[in-house]
């Protein structure tokens, strides 16, 4: 059967763009057989080649893989204004300008698809927008940055320091030469903004997302956690809190039974919780040229067949700054009577309930490692602030969140 | 905003049907806000109430939750012939008559959606049909029956016998009074037939799927496996073998690192392997009224917006009977010299390579527990048949497949 051509304009030819240009012809026969249209790349825009206007004029659909805010935003808006569908992998663009872009897609009756912008080939966008279109989502947890998950997995499995694990990630291509936006949590924050927008049907901007990275994590944190049966991940959380929502990214320990605890290496995973369904977990490679290109291609095919537009939001939920969490707290103290009692009292004054505590001598001093049950973060940190001023404290207290106590053995 | 009504005819009012009738009005406002259409149930067919013709005439879409082959097949065909979209949770219907039904959907230009027929709320159908529409899938592994996974999890965690774990599953509502089609593997086989059809784009009938159940699994199998770092699951496999495919269901051990090893209780999970994407794993509740109803509702909403038809198959791949697998083999033997050598020789003649072997005394005899590297099942069973005739063997050899050696620690 002869299939009509379906013309794709490709903006950007970096790792993902090149992988997409390689994947498309390999799968074109199969796509032509099932859709009746044969996709082909009719123009490629790079910094040295092509003009946007020429490529747009020759395209049925535009794939944006330039990244960054401008000129990507201008190109995507212009393509949609010209009646073309757009597929993008650009998380920063959507976390900053999502509402503007989705509104433009609705206005011009075109599709804007972005599976590859979040968690690579893990189909979290499609599942949130389609399978769970009418579900009341309570909470999403995600490991949405492969670089940091690789580094933390290395530290846990080899005993490497943060610096050595980062260097190994760079050597293997899992981290860029400048890894700042990965290791400081900003990349994950952009992805959680997009996830929260879809999960809760309310506008969420990158600025609404609090984030911490993994730069301060030490080998000792990970080793102690292991003694408590915990593993350490950089976790994105989007959840309903009262009448609002909280969206944040920070390192957190997970009990062995948690669905995200076994996600190792550069993989990504997302768990969606909703009363009607309990929870769905999805995992897979979160990055990589061929993997991301595969997610782009899935979107292209969906756009070639018919639409599924991102509907206008119907709610405007407040973003809540404070949230509840269980915590691991690690203190180095002088070994003298009454130390534990004073610390427990300061925690108790803020409403903390201690789940477990381990005390160890360290020669000249002692080490206290405790886990406290979920409590408001503001109250926990207020207690830690008071504890840090105690005269018998040696060094700074180390606090790390613990996810979902129900998975504890 | 006033939304136009979207009329749903509901066939069947059992556990899932009742849950769907309860869920729909709860979510109708949200659906109306995002789609512009307000779904409502305009007719319900039960054995004592309603006629199919009246319900069909008053519907924009028909939800089939009767189960079984007839009259479900006739109703679904008649609904599509009348130009109505159909959403069904009926795995036996699709595993027997899928090609006829999908052809009818294409002929009449309507949608036939069936996410709820496989793995409940785990979005495996949508991901295979849409996200991975153009992916070359090599293999799918699935835990697609919640009853058996619950029973095996109980046996592993409490030390219960198969009979006691089954009784507990029945008491808690995870197993029916007559659990035959769950525990013998037939339910999982129907689901794997549907998955294989979508993964490999070739017709697959239930009769093409080999299946074994868990009725013969003993507490001892599970205890020994644990000593080897393995857990036991009822695993569905659909994979390419040479130019053909193999689709089968059987108990199998998994190494702790396998993505399916940590799927416990009544949860389902599916892992899809494809060269371009490595693998995607999805997990969640595989059954239950509200969960399945939620999957049905996701399909209804997708059908309310526009189409995504199941395309005609473009290939006709042969179904291969034999397949490769690693095996665990447990033998009770008399404790005398030369026993291990003779067994190893019989295995070696069939090309088996032994990965590990543990020998233990048992008072009057000895117990050999070994794991062999992947080999053709036919050859492995030929060796076991010869071994079972050795005069020093006490009792029947016990053989269980081992999944994916690469996850071994």
* Domains and their CATH numbers in chain A: 4-117 (3.40.50.720), 131-285 (3.30.360.10), 324-407 (3.30.70.260)
- Determine whether B191 is an active site residue: yes
A60-69 pLDDT per residue, tens: 999 999 999 9
* A284 touches B: beta carbon within 8 Å: yes
Q: Left (φ > 0), alpha (ψ -120 to 50) or beta: where does B287 sit?
A: beta
Is residue B107 within 8 A of residue A123, CB to CB? The reply is: no
Q: Which of A121, A126, A136 sits opposite B130 (nearest CB)?
A: A126
Residue in chain A lying closest to B277 (CA): A291
Strands B85-88 and B112-113: parallel
DSSP A278: E
CA distance B402 to B232: 9
What is the reported pLDDT for B364? Answer: 74
What is the reported pLDDT for B328? Answer: 83
Nearest-neighbour CA in chain B from A31: distance (Å): 6
Phi–psi pair at A272, nearest 5 degrees: -110, 125
Q: Tell which of B27, B37, B134 to mutate to test the A interface (max A CBs under 10 Å).
A: B134
* A293 touches B: beta carbon within 8 Å: yes
CA distance A25 to B134: 11
Place of tokens 């269901």: B249
Element holding B325 (H helix, E strand): strand B324-334
CA distance B30 to B50: 29
What is the reported pLDDT for A228? Answer: 66
Nearest-neighbour CA in chain B from A259: distance (Å): 8
- Are B280 and A279 in contact (CB < 8 Å)? no
pLDDT at A1 over 70: no
pLDDT at A26 over 80: yes
CA distance B255 to B141: 14
Is residue B120 within 8 A of residue B284, CB to CB? The reply is: yes
* A297 chain-B contacts, CB cut-off 8 A: 134
Nearest residue to B100 via CA among B73, B79, B126, B128: B73
CA distance B355 to B372: 5
* Proportion of chain A above pLDDT 90, given as a percent: 55
What is the reported pLDDT for A80? Answer: 95
Residue in chain B lying closest to A259 (CA): B262
What is the reported pLDDT for B311? Answer: 47
For residue A8, list its beta bridge partners.
A41, A61
- Are A23 and B276 in contact (CB < 8 Å)? yes
Buried b (16+ CB within 10 A) or exposed e, A144-163: bbbbbbbbbbbbbeeebebe
* Proportion of chain A above pLDDT 70, given as a percent: 93
* A284 chain-B contacts, CB cut-off 8 A: 277-281
Alpha-helical runs (H) found in A184-238: 186-200, 219-227
CA distance B73 to B97: 8
CA distance B80 to B104: 7
- Are B131 and A295 in contact (CB < 8 Å)? yes
Q: For chain B, which residues score pLDDT lower than 70?
A: 1, 224-225, 228, 306-321, 403-409
For residue A87, list its beta bridge partners.
A63, A113
3-state secondary structure of A95: helix
To the nearest 10°, the Cα dihedral for B249, B250, B251, B256?
-50
Show which of residues 119-138 on chain A sit within 8 Å of chain B, judged by CB atoms. 121-123, 126-127, 130-136
Q: Which of B278, B291, B308 sits opposite A284 (nearest CB)?
A: B278
What is the reported pLDDT for B321? Answer: 65
A190-207 pLDDT per residue, tens: 999 999 998 988 888 999
Nearest-neighbour CA in chain A from B255: distance (Å): 13
Cis-peptide into B14, omega within 30 deg: no
CA distance A315 to A199: 12
Question: Which residue out of B7, B84, B186, B191 is catalytically annotated?
Answer: B191
- Rounded to 10°, the helix B186-200/B91-108 angle is 30
Residue A65 is encoded by which pair of tokens? 């893989």
CA distance B204 to B192: 9
B310 Cβ contact partners less than 8 Å away, ≥ 6 residues apart: B102, B105, B106, B112, B129, B198
> What is the average pLDDT score of chain A?
88
Residue in chain A lying closest to B283 (CA): A281
What is the reported pLDDT for A277? Answer: 86
What is the reported pLDDT for B359? Answer: 82
* A308 touches B: beta carbon within 8 Å: yes
pLDDT at A229 over 90: no
- Are B277 and A294 in contact (CB < 8 Å)? yes
CA distance A341 to A27: 66
* B301 chain-A contacts, CB cut-off 8 A: 130, 133-134
* A290 chain-B contacts, CB cut-off 8 A: 276-277
Alpha-helical runs (H) found in B5-90: 15-35, 52-57, 72-81
* B121 chain-A contacts, CB cut-off 8 A: 131, 277-278, 280
Place of tokens 């291969």: B320
Is residue B296 within 8 A of residue B89, CB to CB? The reply is: yes
Q: Tell which of A117, A277, A286, A308 to mutate to test the B interface (max B CBs under 10 Å).
A: A277
* A306 chain-B contacts, CB cut-off 8 A: 306-308
Size of interface A-B (CB pairs under 8 A): 158
Strands B354-361 and B244-255: unpaired
* A35 touches B: beta carbon within 8 Å: yes
* A277 chain-B contacts, CB cut-off 8 A: 121, 284-285, 290-291, 294
A319 pLDDT tier (thresholds 50, 70, 90):
low
Please report the beta strands in A298-364, taking only residues with DSSP state E, as ranges in sequence order.
Answer: 324-334, 354-361
What is the reported pLDDT for A310? Answer: 41
Is residue A79 within 8 A of residue A26, CB to CB? The reply is: no
How many other β-carbons are positioned within 10 Å of the β-carbon of residue B327?
24
- Are B123 and A280 in contact (CB < 8 Å)? yes
CA distance B76 to B65: 11
CA distance B323 to B245: 9
A347-392 pLDDT per residue, tens: 999 999 998 888 877 777 888 888 889 899 899 999 999 999 999 9
* A278 touches B: beta carbon within 8 Å: yes
A320 Cβ contact partners less than 8 Å away, ≥ 6 residues apart: A241, A242, A244, A245, A246
What is the reported pLDDT for A311? Answer: 47
Nearest-neighbour CA in chain A from B332: distance (Å): 35
- Are A306 and B302 in contact (CB < 8 Å)? no
């Amino acid at each position: 059967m002869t299939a009509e051509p379906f013309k794709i304009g490709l903006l950007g030819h970096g790792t993902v763009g090149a992988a997409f240009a390689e994947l498309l012809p390999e799968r074109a026969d199969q796509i032509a057989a099932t859709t009746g249209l044969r996709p082909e790349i009719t123009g490629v825009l790079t910094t040295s080649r092509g003009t946007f206007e020429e490529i747009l004029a020759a395209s049925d659909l535009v794939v944006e893989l330039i990244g960054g805010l401008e000129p990507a935003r201008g190109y995507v808006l212009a393509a949609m204004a010209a009646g073309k569908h757009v597929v993008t992998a650009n998380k920063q663009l959507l976390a900053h300008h999502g509402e503007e872009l989705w509104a433009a897609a609705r206005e011009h009756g075109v599709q804007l698809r972005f599976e590859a912008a979040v968690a690579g080939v893990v189909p979290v966008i499609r599942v949130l927008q389609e399978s769970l279109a009418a579900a009341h989502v309570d909470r999403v947890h995600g490991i949405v940055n492969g670089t940091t998950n690789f580094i933390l997995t290395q530290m846990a499995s080899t005993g490497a320091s943060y610096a050595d694990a980062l260097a190994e990630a760079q050597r293997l291509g899992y981290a860029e030469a400048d890894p700042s936006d990965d290791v400081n949590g900003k990349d994950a924050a952009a992805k959680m903004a997009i996830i929260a927008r879809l999960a809760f049907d309310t506008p969420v901007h990158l600025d609404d997302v609090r984030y911490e990275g993994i730069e301060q994590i030490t080998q000792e944190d990970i080793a102690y956690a292991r003694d408590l049966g915990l593993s350490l991940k950089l976790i994105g959380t989007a959840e309903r809190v009262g009448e609002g929502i909280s969206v944040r990214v920070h390192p957190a320990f997970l009990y062995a039974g948690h669905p995200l605890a076994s996600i190792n290496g550069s993989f990504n995973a997302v768990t969606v919780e909703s009363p009607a369904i309990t929870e769905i977990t999805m995992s897979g490679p979160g990055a990589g040229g061929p993997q991301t290109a595969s997610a782009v291609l899935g979107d292209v095919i969906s756009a070639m067949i018919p639409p599924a537009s991102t509907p206008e939001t119907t709610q405007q939920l407040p973003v809540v700054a404070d949230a509840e969490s269980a915590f691991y707290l690690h203190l180095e103290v002088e070994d003298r009577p009454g130390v534990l009692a004073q610390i427990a009292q300061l925690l108790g004054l803020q409403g903390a309930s201690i789940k477990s505590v381990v005390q160890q001598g360290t020669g000249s001093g002692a080490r206290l490692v405790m886990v406290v049950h979920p409590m408001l973060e503001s109250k926990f940190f207020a207690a830690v602030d008071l504890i840090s001023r105690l005269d018998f404290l040696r060094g700074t207290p180390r606090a790390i969140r613990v996810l979902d106590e129900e998975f504890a053995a």
